[in-house]
Amino acid sequence: MLFILGGGVAIYGFTFWQKTQNLKKNGIRTKGTVYEIGSKAIYRFPFVKFTTKKDEEIRFRSKLEVNVDLFNYKIGQEVDVIYHKYNPHNARIDKFWENNMAELYLTLLGVIIMFVGLMVRWFFIRKVRRQARY
State how far the Cα of 101 lies from the Cα of 67, in Å rounded to an integer: 14
Q: How confident is the model at residue 13 (pLDDT cuts 50, 70, 90)?
A: confident
Say what the pTM is: 0.70
Q: Where are the domains of the chain?
A: 2-125
- The SS3 call for residue 43 is strand
Query: What distance in Å separates the CA atoms of residue 10 and residue 104, rounded to the nearest whole number?
Result: 9
User: Could you report the per-residue pLDDT of 70-124, keeping only the tens digit for each?
Assistant: 788 999 999 999 999 999 999 999 988 887 777 787 888 888 888 888 888 888 8
Maximum CA extent, the chain: 78
pLDDT digits 0-9 by tens, 48-70: 999 999 999 999 999 888 887 77
Question: Is residue 63 classed as helix, strand or coil in its secondary structure?
Answer: coil
Q: What distance in Å separates the CA atoms of residue 133 and residue 123, rounded to the nearest whole number? A: 16
Q: Alpha-carbon distance 16 to 14, whole Å?
A: 5
| Bridge-based pairing state of the strands 43-51 and 66-67 | antiparallel
